[in-house]
Amino acid sequence: MTILQEIHTWSKDLTAWQQDAIARLYSDRSLSAADLDDLYALAKTEVGIPDMEGRVCKKLQDAEVALPVNPTRVVLLTAIKALTNVNALANDVRLPIAKTGVTAIYGENGVGKSGYSRVFKKACRARDRREPILPNANLELRQCGSAFATFETEIDGTPIDLQWKADVDPPEPLSDIAIFDTHCARAYIDNQGDFAYAPYGLDILEGLVGACNALKVRALAEKAANAPSDAAYVVLAGEQTKVAKTLVGIPSKTKVEDIEALASLSEAELERLTFLNKTLAETDPKQKALALRQKASRLTSLAGRVATAIDVVSEATVASLRVLIDKSNAAKTAAELAATEFKATPGQLVGTGGEEWKTLFEAARTFAEISYVDNEFPYLPADAACPLCQNTLGQEGSVRLLRFDTFIKAAAEKAAKDAREAAAIPFRVIQQANVDLMFRDDLVEEVTELRPEVAVVCAALQSSLKKRQEAVLQAAAGKLAWDGLTKLSLDPQPSLAEIINNLQEQSNALDAITDENFKGVLVSEQAELDARRRLAEVKGAVLEAMTKYEFCRKLQVCIEGMDTRSISRKSTELSRTMASQELADALNSELRQLKVHHLNVTMKPGSPGGKTQFKLTMQLPGGGTPTTILSEGEQRAIAIASFMAEIQLSKGRGGIVLDDPVSSLDHRRRWEVAERLAKESLIRQVIIFTHDIYFLLILEQKAKEVGAQLTKNYIRRTANGTGVHSEDLPFDVLGTKDRLSRLRKLLVDVRKAAKEGDEDLQRQETAKCYGQLRLAWERCIEEVLLNGAVQRFGEGVLTQRLKGVTITDTDYLEIDAGMTKASKFEHDAASTVGRLPIPAPDDLSKDIERLATWREILNKRVDAIAKGSASRSALFTTELTL
């Protein structure tokens, strides 16, 4: 198991925010200020402190960590193809890769190298995958899908196509391929100034320790800034009350609900507190009790008057009266109907049967009971005198009296009379009732002092009662509609009852406080209520303190979770088991090969602060820190050395991919890197992306020196997109032989233009061909005539190659003639000369073959001299003879 896998497995038992930190460190190696802000919020969320931004932990997924290499398996890349939605790379391109040696993929800036590199890093699970694969900016987003690529491979000799798709677990065999680029380089160099070397992965633990320490400082500062204060309730907490016991329980036992309950006093409780305060403050309780009882008696009388007066004109009373009057009116109507028929009897005086007549007849009845004791009215003899007129009745008069009596005693008339009498009784009660509450003067003042609002209600009722009484009487007389009766105002009886009860309680309490035991109970009750009242006043401060206590408690849990000892122990464990002396020796060997002689890796015991055991130390007499002495190029060389050392120890047989490995390297160090990679290609597949022609030429030379195969590929930009592979390398990087081959291909285009009669195109292609022919002459001089002893951008003069160098006058003449003619047609002619005639294609062909022939002669000469079959003197003699 690799260090990264060991850390990943171990991290699954860490808190979620620490797993998030590891995921960030895995992808970026360092944590920005924004990262630390996120992690701090996540750490607090984990202990119950909410994050207003709602951030969520992201963990390192298994698929993101490269699997251990299989030492028995050989995974070779033969091509990457079918790329889709990868930056601006043309879709469905194919980039071939040689199975052995070095495959150098050259391209200028902006032609797609980074696109290929990002696919390699994601598919091969490189540690640094920060650079995203973006959709083609020339396409609309709806036209873009997920990035996709197919890797042509040979696994243990068997061809297999492995498909990779963004956001899907990469194919497992591709994990055998190791990736290095400018971002990966930072994975191997400590940026803290001392250049502590952390084997691939251990720097994650160091970064985690740094994050824990930084966040711990922040948490401690926030905890100090939120330290709770009990100044607002310290006095309350020192008393002997339930409130005090509750406050003393902060923060361990007391809950917010406890404070809320104690600090919430009802109106009754507040009134009780006021009552106790007054009662206990009284100097002469017995005299005060007597005064209160007298006051209660007066208010009881008032309440009685209120009840009586309200009852006189209450809704129930008025409703009952209304029913009786309605019945009386109905009976009266029926009696009047009967009287109408009676009045219609012929011979009777007008008004007979009316109310006046009825009164007169009833008076006669009363008089007859006095004057005719022996006879029952109206049964009087015919010779009797009439009780009304005292004339003799006669037979007709006797009959008339009987008829009148029968009418009076009829049912309708009797019902009317009874109904009228029934309604008259309650009517007279209301009419004669006294609804004056006698609420005035001292009584008004007394009630106002106790409850002003009750005094207002009593006064309003007194006025309301009189108006309602008058209205009821008018309605009973038919002068006002019943629905128009004045309503009574509010009834003060409940409030008066409360006042009376309070007065009685106060008087009873005043009587009782002469008993010291009972007084003690009241004093205790007063203390409890008063403490609750004062708690209500400082409730906000108490709750704030409780909130801060809880916040600080959670922060403390957070702080304890930032302890780094377990991380340091894991770092030490991994250092001892995986960062061995073998690794230190391998790194020193790589540093020597890259000519970083003044650096040496030494073992350091322990892992303070989560750091590794290894340190890069300067081997200089004068000392000095690495940051002040090491150049950027040397730092890059250290990174490459670290990469190569770990590749050697991984025991894997997979290839390596390097993206611009010599970026920031100086002129001399390019040669060491090229040589090191050329040697590595003898034992594993090496793939290099570069835009540096100089490095490509150096790599070509070093590959030749160590006997390694070098395959040069060229990628370019086309109308279909970038990253398009071409068999034709740029003319600048070709040798003389390949340049001659390219010139012969250009000659085909010249002949075609001449055949088609396109003179402008022919002149243009001919000038281009002669310009490149001139460059071919220059390369032939360097490569063949001087036998590579002196090379442009070379690291020195290769004196051993001078033994194969001979230069004759014929050589000079050939060079002068060939380059003069090439230059003549490449450059613009003077205006006085005019345009030069276009050389015929056959002439151009002869000039190309002239260089080819001269090159062949030079090669034979060099070989002959090298083999000893010819001498320089013989060559000169031959030349003189000619």
Q: What would the two tokens of residue 828 be?
A: 């613009």
Read off the pLDDT of each residue in 347-371 and give the average, rounded to a whole number: 76
Read off the pLDDT of each residue in 299-304 and give the average, rounded to a whole number: 89
pLDDT value of position 216: 95
pLDDT value of position 37: 95
CA distance 6 to 85: 34
Across 399-413, 541-555, 644-658, the highest mean pLDDT is recorded for 541-555
The vertex-668 CA angle with 664 and 674, nearest 5°, equals 80
Least confident interval from 209-213, 433-437, 628-632, 816-820: 628-632
pLDDT value of position 882: 38
Residues in the chain: 882
* Amino acid identity at 139: L
659 pLDDT higher than 80: yes
Give Cα separations from 106 to 238, 727, 732 (angstroms): 83, 11, 12
**Higher-confidence residue: 11 or 401?**
11
CA distance 746 to 219: 72
DSSP notation for 237-279: HTSSSHHHHHHHTTTTT--HHHHHHHH---HHHHHHHHHHHHH
Q: What would the two tokens of residue 422 be?
A: 């029934």
543 pLDDT higher than 90: yes
CA distance 811 to 818: 10
Band of pLDDT at residue 564, cut at 50, 70 and 90: very high
Read off the pLDDT of each residue in 373-397 and give the average, rounded to a whole number: 80
Q: What are the pLDDT digits (tens) for 568-588?
A: 888 888 877 765 777 778 888
Long-range contacts of 449-456 (CB under 8 A, 24+ apart): 450/499, 450/503, 451/495, 451/499, 453/495, 454/492, 454/495, 454/496, 454/499
Least confident interval from 193-197, 207-211, 534-538: 193-197
876 pLDDT higher than 90: no
pLDDT value of position 439: 87
Task: For the chain, give the percent of residues with pLDDT over 70.
Answer: 83
Q: What would the two tokens of residue 683 be?
A: 């034992």
Nearest to 26 by CA among 260, 183, 152, 156: 183
Q: What would the two tokens of residue 704 be?
A: 């030749």
CA distance 589 to 515: 102
Read off the pLDDT of each residue in 48-66 and give the average, rounded to a whole number: 87
Neighbours of 876 (CB within 10 A): 13
Nearest to 781 by CA among 872, 858, 702, 694: 858
* Amino acid identity at 382: A
pLDDT value of position 489: 86
pLDDT value of position 407: 67
Q: What are the pLDDT digits (tens) for 802-814?
A: 766 778 888 888 8
Query: Which stretches of 168-241 are DSSP H helices?
Result: 182-185, 202-225, 234-237
Read off the pLDDT of each residue in 651-661 and give the average, rounded to a whole number: 88
873 pLDDT higher than 70: no
Query: Which stretches of 477-538 are DSSP H helices?
Result: 493-512, 516-537
Kindly report the pTM of this predicted structure. 0.56
Q: What would the two tokens of residue 571 be?
A: 């770092």
Q: What would the two tokens of residue 260 be?
A: 């809320």
* Amino acid identity at 307: A
Band of pLDDT at residue 329, cut at 50, 70 and 90: confident
CA distance 480 to 651: 117
SS3 714: strand
Nearest to 368 by CA among 357, 358, 355, 379: 379
pLDDT value of position 420: 74
Average pLDDT of the residues of the chain: 81
Nearest to 313 by CA among 483, 430, 461, 457: 430
**Higher-confidence residue: 361 or 699?**
699
SS3 215: helix
- Residues 99 and 685 sit within 8 Å (Cβ to Cβ): yes
CA distance 64 to 199: 19
- Residues 1 and 7 sit within 8 Å (Cβ to Cβ): no
pLDDT value of position 621: 46
678 pLDDT higher than 70: yes
pLDDT value of position 241: 93
**Higher-confidence residue: 322 or 704?**
704
- Residues 273 and 529 sit within 8 Å (Cβ to Cβ): yes
Q: Which helix (H) or strand (E) holds 120?
A: helix 113-123
Contacting residues for 96 by C-beta, under 8 A, at least 6 apart: 78, 79, 713, 725
Band of pLDDT at residue 264, cut at 50, 70 and 90: very high
pLDDT value of position 880: 37
Q: Which helix (H) or strand (E) holds 710?
A: strand 710-718
CA distance 693 to 701: 12
Query: Which stretches of 538-580 are DSSP H helices?
Result: 539-560, 565-578
Read off the pLDDT of each residue in 123-141 and give the average, rounded to a whole number: 69
Q: What are the pLDDT digits (tens) for 442-453?
A: 888 888 988 899
Q: What would the two tokens of residue 733 be?
A: 């990087």
Long-range contacts of 802-809 (CB under 8 A, 24+ apart): 803/865, 803/866, 804/862, 804/865, 804/866, 805/862, 806/861, 806/862, 806/865, 806/872, 806/875, 808/875, 808/876, 808/879, 809/879
Read off the pLDDT of each residue in 667-677 and give the average, rounded to a whole number: 85
Neighbours of 52 (CB within 10 A): 6
Band of pLDDT at residue 550, cut at 50, 70 and 90: very high
Read off the pLDDT of each residue in 648-677 and give the average, rounded to a whole number: 83
Backbone angles phi and psi of 75, in degrees to 5? -110, 115
Structural domains in the chain, CATH included, are 68-199+579-725 (3.40.50.300), 234-282+513-537 (no CATH), 285-313+435-506 (no CATH), 320-429 (no CATH), 734-881 (1.20.120)
Across 285-294, 366-375, 461-470, 527-536, the highest mean pLDDT is recorded for 527-536
* Amino acid identity at 208: L
